[in-house]
Amino acid sequence: MNDDKKIESFFEQLRLADKNVHVPAFEEIKSPQKRPIGSLLRLGIAASLLILFGVFTLRVNQKEEVDPHFTEFLPLSIEIESITTNSLIKTVSNIEEWSAPSNSLINHYHEW
Amino acid sequence: MDSKELEQLLKVYHKDAFYWARQCCHYDSEEAKEVLQIVYLKILEGKAKFGGKSNFKTWLFSVIRFTSIDSLKKKSSFESLDNLSLVDNDSFQENVIHYEHLLEKLSERQHKVLLLSFYHGMPLSEIAEVMNLHIGTVRTHYERGKASLKQIIEKEQNER
């Protein structure tokens, strides 16, 4: 019984000491607390990832939405040699009419 | 029971609930505040439901105890709860009796059983509900806890 009194007195002292402890108001506890920076950061990262994912999906969808009747024309430039009949005309020069390219040197050598 | 009635009951027991939360969080007021906030949210959002089988205070204390265990586990996943002591050693003054520090020398269960009995004035049957223990086990912790605390107090008195 004496032991119980000692213990009761001990807890009575503890109760008295606890009177100095600040007890937050009920409303303060009940209302939502400010989110810690860590959770805000996580929320920010998640939001930016979501936005990036959204943009990516939008772009992919845009690429897939191609009009099936749409025909794309590619300008192709093909160079074709002009067809002429020049190659068919063959001029054969007569041996009598032929003159050497250095003929002029014989006739007009003094001019050189 | 609607949310207004629940809120009213929570208001009535708010002070006791805060002290109990603080005792469950190794006398850390900030931790107790966070735990109590989670508890109130759980109750007001209907995640923890009062069935009316026991006293409201007993049920509330039980929710606080479980929530504080979860909260402390998350914060110190590598340290045993029995070994964890958050009593501020920096503000330790030699000539003052540190009741909280002395109580922390008891085992976790003895500590809680004695607090519920002597500080909060609960009968052993209700303590058994809060601690989720058989009444026989509670009685054992109660008796052993008293004997241990008596020794601790006497040792403290002899040292002074």
Helix axes A2-18, B135-159, angle to 10 degrees: 80
Q: pTM higher than 0.80 for the full model?
A: no
CATH of B1-79, one of 1.10.1740, 2.30.38, 1.25.40, 2.60.40: 1.10.1740
pLDDT at residue A100, as a whole number: 76
Contacts of B146 in chain A (CB under 8 A): 3-4, 7
Could you give the CA distance from residue A20 to residue B60 in angstroms, rounded to a whole number?
24
pLDDT for the residue A93: 62
Contact status, residue B7 vs residue B45, Cβ threshold 8 Å? no
- Do A17 and B93 form a contact (C-beta atoms < 8 A)? no
* pLDDT for A92: 61
Q: How far is CA A6 from CA A12, A34, B8, B42, B138, in A?
A: 10, 44, 36, 38, 20
Question: Is some CB atom of chain B closer than 8 A to the CB atom of A34?
Answer: no
Give the pLDDT band of residue B147 (cuts 50, 70, 90): very high
User: Are B18 and A17 inside 8 Å of each other by CB?
Assistant: no
Q: Does residue A37 carry a pLDDT above 90?
A: no
User: Who has greater pLDDT, B32 or A69?
Assistant: B32
User: Which of A14, A16, A22, A28 would you mutate first to test chain B, the one with the most B CBs within 10 A?
Assistant: A14
What pLDDT is stored for residue B129 in this prediction? 93
CA distance B60 to B129: 11
The angle formed by the CA atoms of residues B35, B36 and B39, to the nearest 5 degrees, is: 90
User: Percent helix, strand and coil across chain B, each rounded to 5?
Assistant: 70, 0, 30
Q: Is A14 on the interface with B (CB under 8 A)?
A: yes
Residue A29 forms contact with B (CB below 8 Å): yes
Q: Which amino acid is at B127?
A: I
With CB atoms and an 8 Å threshold, state whether A4 touches B146: yes
Cα A31 from chain centroid?
44
Average pLDDT for residues B121-126, to the nearest whole number?
Answer: 94
Mean pLDDT for B69-92 is 64
The domain made up of B92-160 is a member of CATH 3.10.180.10: no
pLDDT at B100: 87
Residues 6 or more apart in contact with residue A29 via CB below 8 angstroms: B14, B18, B33, B36, B37, B40
**A10/B contact by beta carbon, under 8 A:** yes
Does the beta carbon of A43 lie under 8 angstroms from any beta carbon of chain B?
no
Structural domain boundaries in chain B: 1-79, 92-160
A86: pLDDT strictly greater than 90 = no
Q: What pLDDT score does A104 carry?
A: 72
Q: Please give the pLDDT value at position A102.
A: 78
Interface touch A30/B40, C-beta < 8 Å: yes
A89 touches chain B (CB under 8 A): no
Residues of chain A found within 8 Å of residue B36, distances taken between Cβ atoms: 29
Given pLDDT bands bounded at 50, 70 and 90, which one contains residue B148?
A: very high
With tokens 């050189």, the residue in question is: A112
Of residues B41 and A93, more confidently modeled: B41
Which residues of chain B lie closer than 8 angstroms to A21, CB-CB?
Answer: 19, 22, 29
